[in-house]
Amino acid sequence: MLGAVVTAVALLAAGAAASGEPGAISYRVTPSAKITKVSYYLDKYKGTETLFFEIAVKNMSDQPKRFRVFVDIPDGPSAAYYYPLAGKPPVLKPGQEVSEKLPLVIYNRLPSAFSLAVDEIEAL
């Protein structure tokens, strides 16, 4: 059961940035990726109220790519996630999009602001 839901759906150009005001979301996105959805909410994780992010990333290049999504909350934790999490090889094909639900286990409230960064990384 969701305790609280806040959704920010973002159809963003690569490198788009929010205004930097309190409550703002800032973005830094590699040109080969596009963030197509961002939502965050509180839900239970192993019995504890936890902040979750759901972030969708699309490969905008003409080559298979793997990405690292970095979430940073100024007054809280930071976490990095790999997109895709698995695969042989673990890459997104050109034009492919993947969405992941990402818990920040030690944070149990909605953030007043946060930043997202998407970087290209080498596939394993």
Determine the CATH number of domain 4-121. Answer: 2.60.40
pLDDT at 14 over 50: no
Q: What is the pTM of this model?
A: 0.78
Cα–Cα distance for residue pair 88/50, rounded to 1 Å: 31
The number of CA neighbours under 13 Å toward the Cβ of 117 is 9
What confidence tier does 106 reach under pLDDT thresholds 50, 70, 90?
Answer: confident
Indicate if the pLDDT at residue 69 is higher than 90: yes
- Give me the mean pLDDT over the 61-80 stretch: 94
Give CA separation, 29 vs 25, 33, 59, 109, in Å: 13, 7, 11, 25
Instruction: Name which of 99, 111, 110 is nearest 37 in CA terms.
Output: 99
What are the extents of the domains in the chain? Answer: 4-121
How much of the chain, in percent, has pLDDT values that exceed 90? 68
| pLDDT at res. 87 | 87
Name the residue with higher pLDDT: 85 or 95: 95
Determine the pLDDT at residue 34: 97
